[in-house]
Amino acid sequence: MLFYNRKLKRLIAIELKLGKFKASYKGQMELYLRWLEKYEKEDDENSPIGIILCADKQSEQIELLQLEESNIHVAQYLTVLPKKELLQAKLHQAIQNAKDKYKRK
């Protein structure tokens, strides 16, 4: 998927992968980003970034690959949702955190 973020002024390539993160995904995303940089990026835009969504990731592997330097980020998605009560508790906590942050401003 390809998106454009107006505030960041950049293209964002998102790739959904099944299963665990593999080091080869880095090279594939770098190819996409270089193509976008060369053929799609406008002069007033920032360099594109890539997001790889995986069912699982190993932080050490991602750190060793130095993905941040390549404008590539890896995120993990859930394959099984937590219980409803846990989701509700997390939602309420996020709302409270946002309210607390807003009050401090």
| Domain architecture of the chain: domains with CATH | 2-80 (3.40.1350.10)
Residue 19 tokens read as 């299963």
pTM: 0.75
> Confidence band (pLDDT; 50, 70, 90) for 105?
low
The rounded percent of the chain whose pLDDT value lies above 70 is 99
Radius of gyration of the chain (CA): 17
For residue 78, what pLDDT is reported? 83
Mean pLDDT over 10-16 rounds to 97
Is pLDDT at 102 greater than 90 in this prediction?
Answer: no
Residue 20 tokens read as 């665990």
Round to whole Å and give the CA distance between 60 and 47: 26
Is the Cβ–Cβ distance between 74 and 66 less than 8 Å? no
